[in-house]
Amino acid sequence: MPTMESESSTVSRAEELKSSANEAFKAHKYSQAIDLYSQAIELNEQNAVYWANRAFAHTKLEEYGSAIHDATKAIEIDPKYSKGYYRRGAAYLAMGKFKEALKDFQQVKRICPNDPDAAKKLKECEKAVMKLKFEEAISVPVAERRSIADSIDYRSIVARMTTSSMLVTAAVAVVLAAALMAAKFMSIGAVLAIMALAASIMVIVFPLARTIVLQTRELLRTLPSLVDITVPNGKQFTVCGDVHGQFYDLLNIFELNGLPSDDNPYLFNGDFVDRGSFSLEVILTLFAFKCMCPSAMYLARGNHESRSMNKIYGFEGEVRSKLSETFVELFAEVFCCLPLAHVINQKVFVVHGGLFSVDGVKLSDIRAIDRFCEPPEEGLMCEVLWSDPQSNLGRGPSKRGVGLSFGPDVTKRFLQDNNLDLVVRSHEVKDEGYEIEHDGKLITVFSAPNYCDQMGNKGALIRFEAPEMKPNIVTFPAVSHPDVKPMAYANNFLRMFS
């Protein structure tokens, strides 16, 4: 039986761990903070503060499912602990679960009736729920919706465009500059300078931007949900992870690794937009390259290529601010056309999120997914976009609250069942820009360095050269960008927590 002295020592040690975790959190070392809070919880699991603090750290890593679990535990320990409801409400908001968040912020207001911050967040949450109810009331059933894209003839727009109108958008600068470089009239440095200048001006010619989006949609619609890529012997192929609206880091990738071309093709593996405040420049650039040379640019859907994410994390607001409401609908339609996965040289499986809740999934099953819709909350399409690897064997609940976690045995069986060598996925920020897991059979690649201007991580890309197709990982730091903060166009209530 423990003595009072030993209990006091245990409590003291737990507090020391909490203090160390707090310091790690302040230094933006959120994974380290989670480990330290976990150690404190092991010593004193009845301390609600430890659970709530760990919930906050999970939120910073976008692990909203884990954050909700920890915040709920804090509430169970102390039903009057306002921060438990506060942390859970913030996680619900980040997941777009406004009604659940509203209940938690109402409880915060009851516990702290004179807290102006709680009152402000409650008011914003009430606005979001009212807006959601209004949108639900006026929404048209999916079966009855008319495609905006189908009502526009982009070919007639192209015919009407003049040369002068093509010089004032980042996307056009890409097409023009890349064409000039192909003719050996410009250096890559000059090409990138033109792209950056055009983005800084950001005067969008509506007809041209619309043409690029519509032409990309037409190209993507012809593709299967799983695209097979063939890299000839002696040639290389580059896979990039999340870019998240960090346009100037995208330019840096092209400076380091060359512009996309038939001899230098790229696959960008989802999450092109949201969070970063230059998402429109990113997506128009990638789409322009796709239109200019389809075999030089492959694009996969990420979990942020969806209406629900774009509504919360900034892309919808950015498009509405820089272009128009029509473009919000256009991008939503094009995102539903993006393929879900790629296989390179019948060896490397590339997907944004991860693997599946059941064994025996074949490539033909992925190819057969009807992807032309908003992502569902379960099933193969959901898991492709949302799942994450875990170190433990088997499967577990998702730390995000969507999809699942899958272990090295799951990866091994999937590769064996489909005669593949490697899984490449993205979806998670990594300190070095990448991480190799599951006995070397799975690589995470993340291409947004210093994510959200605060994580301090490197970015990475992976080069494969045929026929060996061995991964050659290149890392790079963040570059400077104009003074526009991440989440500048995000939903107002979410910016309160950023």
User: What pLDDT, in 10s, does the model give residues 274-324?
Assistant: 999 999 989 998 998 999 889 999 999 999 999 999 999 999 999 998 888
Tell me the percentage of the chain whose pLDDT exceeds 70.
82
Show contacts of 358-362: CB within 8 Å, 24+ apart: 359/410, 359/413, 359/414, 359/417, 360/417, 361/414, 361/417, 362/417, 362/418
Among 92-106, 447-461, 474-488, which stretch is predicted with the lowest mean pLDDT?
A: 92-106
| Run of H or E including 170 | helix 170-182
Task: Decide: helix, strand or coil at residue 262.
Answer: coil
Q: Is 205 left (phi over 0), alpha (psi -120 to 50) or beta?
A: beta
Which residue in 58, 69, 244, 304 is the catalytic one? Answer: 304
Contacts of 479 (CB under 8 A, 6+ apart): 248, 249, 251, 252
Helix (H) or strand (E) segment spanning residue 367: helix 363-367
Beta-bridge partners for 343: 228, 349
Interval 312-354: pLDDT, tens: 999 999 999 888 888 999 999 999 999 999 999 999 999 999 9
Half-sphere exposure of 329 (CA within 13 A, CB side): 11
Q: Tokens 């001006």 correspond to what residue?
A: 201
| Model pTM score | 0.87
Which range is least confidently modeled, 80-84, 105-109, 120-124, 352-356? Answer: 120-124
Coil, helix or strand at residue 240: strand
Task: Give the model's pLDDT for residue 423.
Answer: 98
CA distances from 10 to 3, 6, 13, 425 (A): 11, 6, 5, 41
Query: Which residues make Cβ contacts (< 8 Å) with residue 371, sequence separation at least 6?
Result: 225, 301, 336, 337, 338, 339, 340, 381
From the list 77, 54, 1, 96, the residue with the least C-alpha distance to 401 is 96
Q: Looking at residues 21-36, what average pLDDT do you find? A: 95
Place 3 in a pLDDT band, splitting at 50, 70 and 90.
Answer: low
pLDDT at site 159: 46
347's tokens: 């060896």
pLDDT (tens digit per residue) in 34-47: 999 999 999 999 99
Q: Where in the chain is the domain with CATH 1.25.40.10?
A: 4-138
Residues 6 or more apart in contact with residue 150 via CB below 8 angstroms: none
69 is catalytic: no
pLDDT at 76: 97
Q: Are 466 and 94 in contact (CB under 8 A)?
A: no
Q: How far is CA 358 from CA 200, 235, 395, in A?
A: 47, 36, 9
What superfamily would CATH give domain 212-495?
Metallo-dependent phosphatases (3.60.21.10)
- Among 439, 271, 253, which residue's Cα sits nearest to residue 351? 271
Residue 203 phi, psi (nearest 5): -95, 105
Confidence of residue 222 (pLDDT cuts 50, 70, 90): very high
Q: Are 492 and 498 in contact (CB under 8 A)?
A: no
How do strand 297-299 and strand 341-344 relate by DSSP bridges? unpaired
The DSSP code for 37 is H
State the average pLDDT over residues 441-463. Answer: 97
Q: What six digits make up the tokens of 376?
A: 């569902």
All CATH 3.60.21.10 domain ranges in the chain, comma separated: 212-495
How is 372-424 classified by DSSP, letter by letter? SSSPPSSSHHHHHHH-EE-SSSSEEE-TTSSSEEE-HHHHHHHHHHTT-SEEE
| 292-301, 387-396, 480-489, range with the lowest pLDDT | 480-489
Q: Which fold has domain 4-138?
A: 1.25.40
Pick 107 or 160 by higher pLDDT.
107
CA–CA distance, 402 with 94 (Å, rounded to integer): 12
Phi first, then psi, for residue 170 (nearest 5°) are -60, -40
Structure confidence at residue 68 (pLDDT) = 97
SS (H, E, C) 178-212: HHHHHCCCCCHHHHHHHHHHHHHHCCCCHHHHHHH
- Give pLDDT, residue 168: 38
Which H or E element spans position 247?
helix 247-257
CA distance 46 to 147: 54
Q: Residues of 385-412 as b/e, b for ≥16 C-beta within 10 angstroms?
A: bbbbbbeeeebeebbbbbbbbbbbebbe
Question: What confidence tens digit (pLDDT) does each residue in 123-137 have?
Answer: 877 877 777 666 666
Which amino acid would we find at residue 164? S
Gap between the Cα atoms of 32 and 21, Å rounded:
7
More confident residue, 168 or 338: 338
Stretch (H or E) spanning 77: helix 64-77
User: Given a cut of 90, is residue 170 above it in pLDDT?
Assistant: no
Q: CA–CA separation, 440 vs 318, rounded Å?
A: 39
